[in-house]
């Protein structure tokens, strides 16, 4: 596979902004690997390893109040939700879910069922995000914030004494 040609083809036509992409590994053969690419308008393209776009997934208003909000404990000062959220970089999570974020919001997406699983739209200064698939944790790195690192998890953190 010519990776450079593949990269150019998937992201054509080029759009202004920071849009990410990620591969979804499959346990089968390499031809079954999927690539999701973020596009303007809260859309995702699903492509194969040949660079052919197989489908477009449209997520209407992923920050709406109908989507469960991710609760944050000790996150510092939060800000009102910003308008105009767009998918940015994409990271793979378990169960073929995706995480996307901007400087002020984060969403967890289920592209197979075309729905937003949860969201947090009151953040500020998000610089980067890391996902730990084995523990289903998400870590946010923020600039100029009371809480520089935020851990999002279904499991409480256990603090050990001594």
How confident is the model over 50-89, as pLDDT tens digits? 778 889 999 988 999 899 999 887 666 677 777 788 898 9
CA distance 49 to 33: 7
For residue 119, pLDDT over 70 is answered with: yes
Instruction: Say if residues 62 and 119 touch (Cβ distance below 8 Å).
Output: yes
Please tell me the predicted confidence (pLDDT) of residue 105.
Answer: 92
pLDDT of residue 70: 92
pLDDT of residue 8: 41
> According to the model, what pLDDT value does residue 9 have?
47
Q: What is the pLDDT of residue 3?
A: 43
pTM of the model as a whole? 0.80
Domain ranges of the chain: 3-124
Q: What is the pLDDT of residues 82-108, one digit of tens each?
A: 778 889 899 988 888 999 999 889 999
Residues 6+ apart with CB under 8 A from 162: none
pLDDT at 116 over 60: yes
Q: How many Å apart are CA 85 and CA 63, to the nearest integer?
A: 8
> How far apart, in whole angstroms, are the C-alpha atoms of residue 106 and residue 100?
6
Question: Is the bond leading into 69 cis (omega within 30 degrees of zero)?
Answer: no
User: Which three-class secondary structure state does DSSP give residue 74?
Assistant: coil
Q: Read off the pLDDT of residues 17-62 as tens digits, 9 standing for 90 and up.
A: 565 655 565 556 666 778 888 888 899 988 877 778 889 999 988 9
What pLDDT was estimated at residue 13?
55
């Amino acid at each position: 596979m010519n990776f450079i040609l593949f990269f150019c083809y998937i992201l054509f036509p080029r759009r202004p902004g920071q849009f990410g992409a990620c591969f979804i590994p499959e346990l089968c053969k390499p031809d079954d690997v999927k690539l999701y690419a973020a596009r303007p308008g809260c859309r995702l393209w699903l492509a194969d390893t040949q660079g052919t776009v197989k489908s477009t997934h449209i997520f209407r208003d992923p920050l709406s109040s109908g989507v469960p909000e991710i609760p944050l404990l000790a996150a510092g000062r939060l800000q009102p939700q910003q308008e105009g959220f767009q998918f940015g970089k994409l990271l793979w999570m378990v169960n073929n879910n995706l995480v996307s974020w901007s400087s002020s919001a984060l969403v967890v997406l289920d592209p197979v069922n075309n729905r937003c699983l949860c969201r947090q739209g009151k953040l500020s200064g998000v610089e980067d995000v890391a996902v730990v698939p084995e523990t289903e944790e998400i870590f946010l790195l923020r600039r100029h914030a009371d809480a520089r690192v935020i851990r999002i998890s279904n499991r409480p953190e256990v603090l050990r004494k001594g």
